[in-house]
Amino acid sequence: MEFRQLNTFLCVADELSFTRAAQRLCMAQSSVSAQIKALEDELAVKVFDRIGRRVLLTDAGRKLYTYARRMTEMTREMRSQFSNDDYIRGSLTVRVPETIASIYMPGIIKAFVRDHPKVSLRMINCSDEQLREELNSGRIDLAFLLSDDVHLREVNVKRLRSERLVGVAGPGHPLLARSPLTLRDLDGHHFLRPLTD
C-alpha cells in the first residue's frame, strides 16, 4: 500500500467517479482502475460498490477514507514542519503564455500568494524561443508551455496535463469536409495557432 494509491482512492471517493478522478489526477482512467484494484486486492476488501455505472463507497471504503484522510493530513502537517513555508522569501520569475495565463493563472496565483506571501512574483509573457537560454541563465525560474513535447536536458520538465487541439473555421470552409482532420490537411492553408515553444 502506497501513498499514491491512497491519494487516488481519496480522489475517486470525492468524485465518486473513476473517470473524473483520472482527469483531476492527470492520468488515464485505466490507471485509476488499476490502483484501486491493487488497493482492494492488498486489503482483500472492496472499497467501492460498482452498481452499474454508479460508484459508491462501501463500509470498508468509508473506514479507509477516514484513515487515508488522517494520513494525508499527517503528511501535510509533517511537510509543513520541514519546509516552514511562511519563512520562504525571495522572488520567483515565471514565464507563461497568455493563453495559459488567462485560464489557469488566476487560481494558481491566488493559492500561491496565500501560501507564500513573502515571495515576490513576477510574471512575463511568453512568446519566443529563448526559453532554454533564459532558464539556464537564471533570468527566469519557471516556465509554462503549450507544447507537443519538450526536450531540454538542462532543465526539469514535467507534463502537467494535455489539451485537445481543435481547429476552428468559418462556415463553408473546405477543410470542414475532412474528418478526421490531420496536420497534413492544413498544408497550404493560413491559420492562427496558439503559441508553441
Partner DNA sequence: CGGAATAAATCGTTGGACACGATCGTTAAA
Partner DNA sequence: TTTAACGATCGTGTCCAACGATTTATTCCG
Chain residues that interact with a second copy, rule: CB under 8 A: 1-4, 43-45, 60, 63-64, 67, 70-71, 74-75, 78-79, 81-83
Nearest distance in Å: CB 21, DNA: 8
Q: Give the span between the Cα atoms of 141 and 89, in whole angstroms.
A: 14
Among 3, 42, 50, 110, binds DNA (CB under 7 A): 50
Nearest distance in Å: CB 64, a second copy: 7
Grid-cell match 460498482, residue found: 50
Contact flag: residue 42 with DNA (CB under 7 A): no
The separation between the first and the last C-alpha atoms of the chain, rounded to the nearest angstrom, is 39
- Other C-beta atoms within 10 Å of 170: how many? 6
Beta-bridge mates of residue 45:
none
**Phi and psi dihedrals of 158, rounded to 5?**
-135, 130
Stretch of 23-31, 65-73, 95-103, 167-175 contacting DNA, by CB under 7 A: 23-31
Question: Is residue 88 a contact partner of residue 115, using CB atoms and an 8 Å limit?
Answer: no
**Helix, strand, or coil (residue 125):** strand
Stretch of 25-33, 106-114, 123-131, 169-177 contacting DNA, by CB under 7 A: 25-33
Among 35, 94, 97, 134, binds DNA (CB under 7 A): 35
Among 4, 79, 122, 139, binds DNA (CB under 7 A): 4
Would you state the cell numbers that stand for residue 44, as one nine-digit string? 482483500
Nearest distance in Å: CB 159, DNA: 8
